[in-house]
Amino acid sequence: MNDLKSGFSSQRYLTGFHAREIPHQFADVIVVGTGAAGLRAAIEAAGHCNVLLLSKQTCEETATAYAQGGIAAVLDAADSVEQHVEDTLRTGCGLCDARMVRAIVGEGPERIRELLDWGAKFDREDGRLAFTREGGHSRARILHADGDSTGAELMNTLIRKARALDKIRWKENCFAIDLLTRDRTCLGVLAHDGGGGFIARGHRVILATGGCGRIYRETTNPSIATGDGIAMAYRAGADIENVEFVQFHPTTLYLAGASRALISEAVRGEGARLVNKSGQAFMKNYHLAGDLAPRDVVSRAVLAEMDKTGDTNVYLDFSHMDPQEVYLRFPRIKKLCAACHLDITRHPIPVRPSAHYMVGGVKTDGRGRTTIKNLFAAGEVACTGFHGANRLGSNSLLESVVMGRRAGAAAGETAAKRKSQPKPLLLRSEKAAIAGGDLDLADLENSLRSLMWRIGGIVRNGPALEAALGRVRFWQSYVLKRQFSEPEAWSLQNMMTVAELVLRAALIRRESRGVHYRKDFPNTNDRNWKHTVILRREEAEPG
Ligand code: FAD
Ligand code: SIN
């Protein structure tokens, strides 16, 4: 059995630095990430104090911006918080924190009304908000914008609002390398931008760095989703919870050379069907809810159907639907497919599953507080207990705005009570002896992502997970101890750390539950496993 304790990821800082020798920038609250969670947090914190807002690419380049299906909230008179809570709990397969589910679902309508006040244009029918449905929801309760461009509208709204606040200072194309800590207290962020390394020193830090889909070869996630926040928090000693639960989306466009773009679950909510290469609809053979079964069920059914038919993918069929309505409702998907000469109303659209969402993450409480003092987390990087072992579609944008606000309020209020500016730091970390050198980073990244797709993916089993963990640790042995000076390399180092954590957690959980499926333990085992898996870097921190 592999040693499941920390491997080479146990080193404290990715890079050498002497705090006394590099510039400091001060702010009361530092927010890392400009997706729905980071922007919402920054807006809230700026109501109390000064905020420094970092993003590793432009502020628009986030997973949020690509969200299609929508944002779930109880706004229809015929719907109820209790029903949304019930759907979320059922999908979470026994691991949701029921109090968090009630809190987040309950706060949803208020957050949406606020977005509407800030100018968000969600789609309407006859002047009233229009709702769609996705798998696992017992009702149509998902708001959308421009048909299938909900995330873009959310980003426009939040960026507009945040840009109007002069207490927020923006730093784009700025890579957060590590959280700086002493005595399990967060003191700031070691970061790097065009001008070189600097320390963002603050009273509170909020991580809103999004997910880690890029550790998989097949993913819907944009290039920013390399799990930096989870890796940084792990190195700093925070509790990392439930990272075995990686959600795979069943319908990603599968065409050689095309990007693995998402084809929203909402298309099935509006009537599209999954069919095999003979044109047979197959989902009813796997689940009573058919095409709207939970995502883990649909993903495994798609794999089983590919296996049966020997095809590399299955298809989405819109041909029985009114073409004009389809074009109107899904303009983004229409355009995406048209770029590959596919008309969604006439051609079957080739799809297969890919990694989509990290259900686990940095453990937080209901105010976004992590287990490191003064460090908060919100959005996909965090694990609040809202999703349990599986995430209901369109619940993550909801969680991001609710928890972003809560983390921003808690961090902002407490930072504002501190009278003085944070003091300069004296921390230091020695440079690794070996420079980055001639490693082929692209080759390493491809190898890691392929391995994770084959072994850490939709169907897992113990011996293969152990072997994969051994392989990742071997790569870590000559990659993590090197001194790099460019963001791409730090991202790769983070991906290796997160991959290790996912494999370790997947090995530890000897059962199948929600999105975690083990062929060698195919049943859910409530007696032994109805609890979360926590990983923590045990080694004492220097300084
Ligand atoms: P993100 O929006 O991913 O933002 C992360 C931010 O962190 C970025 O600004 C990035 O630059 C920054 N960052 C990361 N690392 C660093 C670093 N080292 N230094 C500095 N900055 C850093 N969910 C729904 O609820 N409904 C949907 O319809 C939906 N559709 C989706 C469609 C797609 C294609 C994808 C990929 C996801 C979808 N999801 C959807 C999931 C949802 O979009 C995400 O979970 C959510 O947007 C995450 O928001 P976030 O603010 O946590 O992170
Ligand atoms: C989708 O549109 O299918 C994605 C929705 C989500 O991930 O919540």
* Tens-digit pLDDT string for the chain (543 aa): 334 555 566 689 999 999 999 999 999 999 999 999 999 999 999 999 999 999 999 999 999 999 999 999 999 999 999 999 999 999 999 999 999 999 999 999 999 999 999 999 999 999 999 999 998 899 999 999 999 999 999 999 999 999 999 999 999 999 999 999 999 999 999 999 989 999 999 999 999 999 999 999 999 999 999 999 999 999 999 999 999 999 999 999 999 888 889 999 999 999 999 999 999 999 999 999 999 998 999 999 999 999 999 999 999 999 999 999 999 999 999 999 999 999 999 999 999 999 999 999 999 999 999 999 999 999 999 999 999 999 999 999 999 999 999 999 999 999 999 978 888 888 999 877 788 778 999 999 999 999 999 999 999 999 999 999 999 999 999 999 899 999 999 999 999 999 999 999 999 999 999 999 999 999 999 999 999 999 999 764 443
Residue for token pair 């959310």: 154
| Furthest CA-CA distance within the chain | 70
Is residue 336 included in any domain, yes or no? Answer: yes
Query: Last residue of some domain: 353, 380, 415?
Result: 353
Dihedral, CA of residue 376, residue 381, residue 383 and residue 387, to nearest 10: 140
Burial class of 447 by CB neighbour count within 10 A (0 to 12, 13 to 18, 19+):
middle
Atom of ligand 2 nearest to the CA of 251: 3
Ligand nearest to the CA of 213: 1
Residue 325: give its domain's CATH number.
Answer: 3.90.700.10
- Does 433 share its domain with 347? no
Does residue 442 sit in helix, strand or coil?
Answer: helix
Burial class of 248 by CB neighbour count within 10 A (0 to 12, 13 to 18, 19+):
buried
Is residue 368 included in any domain, yes or no? Answer: no
Distance 131 CA to ligand 2 centre (A): 14
Query: Last residue of some domain: 353, 372, 402?
Result: 353
Burial class of 358 by CB neighbour count within 10 A (0 to 12, 13 to 18, 19+):
buried
If you take atom 18 of ligand 1, which residue's CA is the nearest one?
A: 176
Distance 63 CA to ligand 1 centre (A): 3
Q: Let me know: does 38 contact 174? Beta carbons within 8 Å.
A: no
Distance 55 CA to ligand 1 centre (A): 12
Cβ–ligand 1 distance for 176 under 6 Å, the answer: yes
Active site residue 509: no
Dihedral-angle region of residue 138 (phi above 0 means left; psi in -120 to 50 means alpha; beta otherwise): alpha
Atom of ligand 1 nearest to the CA of 222: 36
Is residue 493 included in any domain, yes or no? Answer: yes
Cβ–ligand 2 distance for 264 under 6 Å, the answer: yes
Is residue 500 included in any domain, yes or no? Answer: yes
Is residue 241 included in any domain, yes or no? Answer: no
**Amino acid sitting at position 381:** V
Ligand nearest to the CA of 91: 2
Atom of ligand 1 nearest to the CA of 487: 18
Query: Last residue of some domain: 297, 326, 353?
Result: 353
Distance 151 CA to ligand 1 centre (A): 9
- Residue 221 to residues 2, 147, 336, 341, Cα–Cα distance (Å): 30, 20, 16, 23
Atom of ligand 2 nearest to the CA of 265: 3
Residue 6 has a pLDDT of: 55
Strands 168-171 and 51-54, bridge-based pairing: parallel
Distance 69 CA to ligand 1 centre (A): 14
Taking the C-alpha atoms of residue 209 and residue 154, their distance in angstroms, rounded to an integer, is: 17
If you take atom 1 of ligand 2, which residue's CA is the nearest one?
A: 264
Residue 7 has a pLDDT of: 58
Distance 132 CA to ligand 2 centre (A): 12
Does residue 70 sit in helix, strand or coil?
Answer: coil
Cβ–ligand 2 distance for 209 under 6 Å, the answer: no
Token pair recorded at residue 490:
């730090």
Taking each continuous run of H as one helix and of E as one strand, the counts in the chain are 14, 24
Atom of ligand 2 nearest to the CA of 134: 3
- What total number of domains does the chain contain? 2
Is residue 434 included in any domain, yes or no? Answer: yes
What is the pTM for the complete model shown? 0.96
Taking the C-alpha atoms of residue 311 and residue 154, their distance in angstroms, rounded to an integer, is: 37
Residue 423 has a pLDDT of: 82
Taking the C-alpha atoms of residue 382 and residue 384, their distance in angstroms, rounded to an integer, is: 6
Residue 520: give its domain's CATH number.
Answer: 1.20.58.100
Taking the C-alpha atoms of residue 498 and residue 228, their distance in angstroms, rounded to an integer, is: 8
Mutate to test the pocket of ligand 1, among 146, 224, 381 (most ligand atoms within 8 A of CB): 224
Domain of residue 317 covers 251-353
Taking the C-alpha atoms of residue 27 and residue 167, their distance in angstroms, rounded to an integer, is: 10
Cβ–ligand 2 distance for 68 under 6 Å, the answer: yes
Taking the C-alpha atoms of residue 56 and residue 70, their distance in angstroms, rounded to an integer, is: 25
Kindly state the helix (H) or strand (E) to which residue 204 belongs, with its residue range: strand 196-207
Taking the C-alpha atoms of residue 487 and residue 178, their distance in angstroms, rounded to an integer, is: 12
Ligand nearest to the CA of 52: 1
Is residue 89 included in any domain, yes or no? Answer: no
Residue 1 has a pLDDT of: 31
**Amino acid sitting at position 279:** G
Taking the C-alpha atoms of residue 501 and residue 215, their distance in angstroms, rounded to an integer, is: 11
- Residue 149 to residues 113, 154, 330, Cα–Cα distance (Å): 19, 9, 9
Residue 484 has a pLDDT of: 92
Cβ–ligand 1 distance for 56 under 6 Å, the answer: yes
- Does 347 share its domain with 441? no
Taking the C-alpha atoms of residue 50 and residue 46, their distance in angstroms, rounded to an integer, is: 6
Catalytic residue among 235, 295, 449, 473: 295
Does residue 190 sit in helix, strand or coil?
Answer: strand
Q: Let me know: does 379 contact 38? Beta carbons within 8 Å.
A: yes
Atom of ligand 2 nearest to the CA of 247: 7
Distance 464 CA to ligand 2 centre (A): 30
Q: Let me know: does 384 contact 92? Beta carbons within 8 Å.
A: no
Taking the C-alpha atoms of residue 441 and residue 488, their distance in angstroms, rounded to an integer, is: 8
Token pair recorded at residue 39:
């922007």
**Amino acid sitting at position 281:** A
- Tell me which residue of 319, 116, 360, 335 sits closest to 229, measured CA to CA: 360
Ligand nearest to the CA of 248: 2
**8-state DSSP, 285:** G
If you take atom 39 of ligand 1, which residue's CA is the nearest one?
A: 67
- Does 435 share its domain with 348? no
Burial class of 540 by CB neighbour count within 10 A (0 to 12, 13 to 18, 19+):
exposed
Taking the C-alpha atoms of residue 266 and residue 394, their distance in angstroms, rounded to an integer, is: 10
Residue for token pair 């628009």: 60
Dihedral-angle region of residue 121 (phi above 0 means left; psi in -120 to 50 means alpha; beta otherwise): beta
CA atoms within 13 A on the CB side of 5: 5
Does residue 515 sit in helix, strand or coil?
Answer: coil
Is residue 260 included in any domain, yes or no? Answer: yes
